[in-house]
Amino acid sequence: MSIFKGEMATEERRQGLIAHLADLDETYVLKLVQRLLDEGQDPLTIIKDCEQAMRLVGERYEGREYYLSGLIMAGEIFREVMAMVQPLMEQQLAGSSSGRVLLGTVQGDIHNIGKGIVEVALRCYGFTVEDLGVDVAPRCFLDHVENNPPDVIGLSGLITVAYESMKETIGLLRKKIIPGRPPIPIIIGGGTLNETVCRFVGADFWTTDALEGIRICQQIVKKAAER
Ligand code: B12
């Protein structure tokens, strides 16, 4: 028997997804996502709705309604949702941009769900991505830049500690001068970022949206090719 009551409108289903993910109702969420996909729902809309639910989870954690286990559970459900939507996302996003992006979550931070989405999207749009993982030390970013300079450097981070790491990483990277090349543009991403953080850490661009990040990377590569 279906767990859904009667025939729900799409908008109602979307609100249901947000509410049930925020409530950490794994069974309901996974069934609903499958149903939305079967009905041809855009995978990117599903991801956006899940992101909104994750913000609610964060607020409940801040309000002490959830403990750390709530964050862990939410992360696990999102991971399962991503496994379901990723194949469709890969089919849908197909581009021909070329360019290399060095990506990583900065030191002290282990959040990687958003970075994973960015990586998939970048690859779909034709970028070559080198993902250094999470909790990446500033020196590690520099080593990779020295060995194989990318066109863009993307730093991910969500916790306050990450802002200091981003600043340190960017400070180190800025000192690196590659003969005959302008400084490599640096973009930071993560749901808690804003313009103030961007200025504090000294990045060139910031975003809280994977697709906007891709557009920025495309512009950077296009501009470099025109020079
Ligand atoms: C799930 C989660 C976790 C999971 C993460 C699982 C995982 N594998 O990633 C776990 C349980 C590990 C976790 C741990 C912690 N967490 Co946490 N967590 C969250 C939560 C609820 C959701 C994050 C998420 O995945 N969102 C969904 C993704 C898709 O969104 P996103 O990351 O923003 O990514 C999108 C964009 O930002 C962008 N993007 C992301 N990166 C990049 C990079 C580039 C280059 C580009 C272009 C774009 C881009 O693209 C993505 C798609 O659009 C947030 C709440 C929130 N508001 O974000 C808290 C939150 C981030 N966590 C928080 C905290 C406090 C912690 C802990 C310190 C808790 C603790 N006491 O231990 C630890 C920190 C551990 C550490 N050292 O990193 C706080 C941070 C507050 C702060 N300012 O410091 C938040 C905001 C919750 C809150 N409101 O209090 N957490």
Q: Which two tokens stand for residue 59?
A: 């607020």
Cα 158 to ligand 1 centroid, rounded to whole Å: 5
**What does the pLDDT average to over 17-29?**
97
Q: Compute the average pLDDT of residues 22-38.
A: 96
Please indicate whether residue 213, judged by its CB atom, sits closer than 6 Å to ligand 1. Answer: yes
Q: Whose CA is nearest to atom 80 of ligand 1?
A: 159
Phi-psi label, residue 108: left if phi above 0, alpha if psi -120 to 50, beta otherwise: left
> What is the pLDDT at residue 54?
96
Q: Which tokens is 8 given?
A: 């729900």
Q: Is 71 in the pocket of ligand 1 (CB under 6 A)?
A: yes
Distance, in Å, from the CA atom of 60 to the CA atom of 178, rounded to the nearest integer, reads: 46
Please count the residues of the chain.
Answer: 227
Q: What's the CA gap between 185 and 151, in Å, rounded?
A: 7
In short, whether 54's Cβ falls inside 6 Å of ligand 1 is yes
Ligand 1 atom closest to Cα of residue 71 = 11
Distance of CA 223 to the CA centre of its chain: 24
Which pLDDT score, from 0 to 100, does residue 69 have? 97
Q: Kindly report which listed range (20-24, 93-97, 120-124) carries the lowest average pLDDT score.
A: 93-97
Position in ligand 1 atom list of the atom nearest CA 110? 78
pLDDT in tens, 63-74: 999 999 999 999
**Rg of the chain, C-alpha, whole Å:** 19
pLDDT tens digits for range 105-117? 999 999 999 999 9
* Least confident piece of the model among 51-60, 61-70, 85-94, 118-127: 85-94
Q: pLDDT confidence of 6, banded at 50, 70, 90?
A: low
Q: With bands split at pLDDT 50, 70 and 90, how would you rate the model's confidence at 8?
A: low
> What residues does 104 pair with on adjacent strands?
155
